[in-house]
Chains A and B, each alone.
Chain A
Amino acid sequence: MSHKAAKIGLTSLVLTLAFGGLLYSTLGESAQYYKHVDEVMVQPDAWYGKPLQIHGFAKNVSRKRDSLEYRFEMESNGQIVRASYTGIVPDTFKNDSEVVLTGTLGPDGFHATGMTAKCPSKYEPKGVTSTGTN
């Protein structure tokens, strides 16, 4: 009986360690920091090149003619960062809409590779929806 218990214990230990190790290593490549604009802009150069998701409100949205290149600013709590994105934007993306950008920060602004806009939900009516606290 104790022999069996030891076998089971050892097997689960090995499996747990193996999965834990794999999880840890893959997590390192895939994890992104999730920050609000004001948190990042306190010390922007610390974030250059890191995989990042930033959360804020879009301002001054403009699009280059005949292209899908967007330039805009992201704002939260008074801090602003310039941002660019090429591609199709969500319906709800416009001035003052709440968006989360995925990409990297550089000296010339945030280069977004992905964009999600807060999606209207069935569960809370407009106006009451998340105020963007962390």
Chain B
Amino acid sequence: MASLGFYLLLTAFVVSAYALAASVAGARRRSARLTESGIGAFYLVAAVMSVASSIIVYAFVAGDYSIKYVQRYSDSVQPLFYKITSYWGGLDGSIMFWVFLLSLFGSAAVYINRERHRELIPYVVAVISVVQMFFLFLMVIHNNPFETYLTENPADGAGLNPLLQNFYMVIHPPTMYTGFVGLTIPYAFGMAALITGYLDDSWLRAVRRWTMISWLFLSVGLGLGMLWAYEELGWGGYWGWDPVENAGLLPWFTATAFLHSVRVQESRGMLRVWNVTLVILTFFLTIFGTFMTRSGVVQSVHAFGEDPELARMFTIFMVSILVFSFGFVIYRLPLLRARNELDSWVSREAAFLANNWILLFSAFFVLFATMFPTISEAVTGERLTVGPPFFNKWMLPVGLMLLLLTGVGPLLAWRKSTVSNLRDQFLIPVVVALAISGMFVALGFRIWTSGVCFALCGFVMGTIGQEFWRGARVRQGATGTDILTALIGLVARNKRRYGGYIVHVGIVLIFLGFAGEGFKQDEQVLLKPGQQAEVGDIVVRLDAVRVTDDGQKQMITAHTTVFRDGEELAKMYPAKWFFRKHEGEPTTEVAIRRSITEDIYLVLPAFNLEEQSASMEIVINPLVNWVWLGFGILAIGTGIALLPDTVFAFAVARIPAHAVTTSLLLLSLLLWPAAVIAQSAQNVPVKERSQLERRLESEIMCTCGCKSPMGSCPMRPNCSHYDQQEVRLKAHLAEGKDYDAVKASFIQEFGGQAVLAAPIDQGFNRLAWLFPYLAAAAALIGIVVSARRWSRQAAPASTADDGVDPALNARLDDELRDLD
């Protein structure tokens, strides 16, 4: 099995090499047969990689521990779901997964564009083949996931780290990979355009959608990573400027810049060199990010292994990319001359330009600061580091400037804005911003960066609201429908523009969450039962520290009650879990009480069972949920912008070329709820390890004061309290009650959950987990509903257009164009 897998990787390498040779030769000799054969070989790579992937997944599921990779990252007791996802759990497998995704994406991109961009395709195939060959080479030479143990085969695997046996860690890496890998496609098209010299805007049209999809995945991946850090790591925040996080952020900056500057090239024929450069940089940064996190060149708290040989190979590849790509840019400079010049600094293209500069500066700054320890060591011999405060000091004003431009850009006209034009556009948003800042001053808020951020959020929301309102009014006047229909029609008519505005709404909400960070309160305390701590306007009282065991893990739970203004707000149960086989690496189970205004976030970092004391970290995170909400809205907005132009194809289920994009989008939306199901399956104890009674004994407390569950009461067999509890339990069971019913009866008898060793998983906590997926589901429903609505309207609308009033239609078009 393992050797078959390895030979498949070799085959994929050889076939990629053939695809490269055949398509380049075919393009140069203008031989359609050779080119076709290259494309065929290219598809074949995808097929071979699919088979190789199934082999490794099979090895995980079947538990073939003779394969080193399988042995290291899984074990036999792992749930099936985690066995499958262990595929990308380690370095070697993640490289293979990378190639697998790239071959699929590449094939899809080539298939979709093979007619429309016939002249570019051979070189697209060639460029993607080279990238595939690099990663395949890495695997064949250095990181073979199919490597086997030569002598003794271990009987069982080492198991995946419990911190990573978590739903977010399953979904977050592939989401990031999808984003990273997807960004290879625009690069391949850009390079093909440079090589062939077909540098009109057609290559941009081919890659716009791919960039948007990749960008969506990258954004969602970053959001999920933040959510994971927030809920699992238990340090109270979600972004720590760790090199691994930064690696994902770098291409996000440049991809965002590209998505904006593309608009300028389309409308005004400017920034052509710039766009090619951005595509190259974005691709380069995806490779660089992979290099940075995998080779140990930057030290991170995440202990990635150091691997100088891998670093060397990556360096060679990266230098080749830069030389090759920018070599062609310089060679093609004469063809890339702008068709227009910047007329005025008060114009939309200037705003886009400023936005690009800031984004690019952000990318370089983050890159510089992340690499600073390495750079300083190379230059001075001293290893100097910079921490999160340094990043924050710089990125805070930069972020605020970006936020300002988000609002200003859409208000400016292309080419040049007149003074009356400016007054007309800026009046309402500025009034909104002033009103908000006035309110904050009046209320006496002291933190000025957050205050500025709130005011800017108001400003941007004002501009976006104004855009939607004015557009809808114009359309309403022209079509005579109600305002809501006009609004939907407006969005449908210019999906990219209005989808983009919705993305901006998401960004504003994310910034709102960031601004809340300024009011964060954080307190570390040591409590004994009965003692309480005051943080902000809440009081946390420790009631008890209890130990329970569910067979898979030992759980230490702090039972606390949270009060505000003397009233009980909630009971919260931060905990620490010690998984079997991983006792040395306990996981911190944070208790979070979410609300729209603030999260109360309790952590139990340490405890002492003899003293019955618990050190607790109490954090109040204002507005943090707006960050997650913002990511949801951002996904919805991108979804709208991505809808195929023939929207009704979506609903009527004709299968056009767009179907792939659409289904990718759908798949991404469907994947989330599916993963949620997997998560809840993980949280419900998987196996009934013993009989019902024994299980209940381990979960219902003995009342003798031993602070243990009945099953492990140290006073037995001479404990009268235990006997009483046992009588009760037996009586309930004799009545034929099931697990939940027995627990419910105990809660009723004892007037609260204190009788339970571990609190019942609360509905609210579950809901919180579901939050992003609900947003995604809402996006899906929204897309389907509006697609149906548009498709239903499309038919009558077109007949009306044809028969009734062509003049009206023309006027509408004119007015919409003016708006643009």
Contacts and interface: CB of A to CB of B under 8 A. Distances in A.
B158 A126 contact: yes
Interface stretch (A75-83, A84-92, A104-112): A84-92
A97 to B, nearest CB: 9
A35 B299 CA distance: 12
Given A68-B526, A91-B605, A123 B386 contact: no
Nearest to B235: A90
B155 interface: no
A26 B392 CA distance: 11
B158 A125 contact: yes
B301 A116 contact: yes
A19 B385 CA distance: 19
B304 A88 contact: no
Contacts of A2: none
B383 A134 contact: yes
B55 interface: no
Contact of A130 (B305, B373, B382): B305
A12 to B, nearest CB: 10
Contact of A32 (B386, B528, B587, B603): B386
Contacts of A34: 299, 373, 383-385
B91 A123 contact: yes
Contact of A91 (B299, B303, B373, B586): B586
B524 A124 contact: no
A88 B605 contact: yes
Contacts of B654: none
A131 B303 CA distance: 10
Contact of A87 (B376, B387, B524, B576): B524
Contacts, number: 116
Tell me the dominant secondary structure on chain A's binding face.
Answer: loop
A130 B306 contact: yes
A43 interface: no
Contacts of B163: 120
B802 interface: no
Contact of A30 (B94, B304, B389, B588): B389
A66 B73 CA distance: 40
A31 B386 contact: yes
Contact residues on B (Cβ < 8 Å of other chain), bracket:
35 or more
A89 B586 CA distance: 13
B687 interface: no
Contacts of B339: none
B802 to A, nearest CB: 50
Contacts of B677: none
A68 B373 CA distance: 31
Interface string B56-73: 000000000000000011
A23 B364 CA distance: 12
Nearest to A119: B301
B386 A122 contact: no
A90 B606 CA distance: 9
B524 A68 contact: yes
A30 B584 CA distance: 34
Interface in B39-89: 72-73, 89
B611 interface: yes
Nearest to B365: A23
A39 B48 CA distance: 51
B613 A66 contact: yes
B161 interface: yes
Given A31-B386, A92-B585, A121 B303 contact: yes
Interface of A: 19, 23, 26-27, 30-35, 53, 65-68, 87-92, 100, 102, 116-126, 128-131, 133-134
Interface of B: 72-73, 89-91, 94, 158, 160-161, 163-164, 169, 173, 294, 296, 299, 301-306, 361, 365, 368, 372-373, 376-377, 382-387, 389-390, 393-394, 524, 526, 528, 576, 584-588, 603, 605-606, 611, 613, 615, 617
Given A119-B303, A125-B158, 11 more contacts: A32-B387, A66-B611, A87-B524, A90-B605, A121-B161, A125-B72, A126-B158, A129-B303, A129-B305, A130-B296, A130-B305
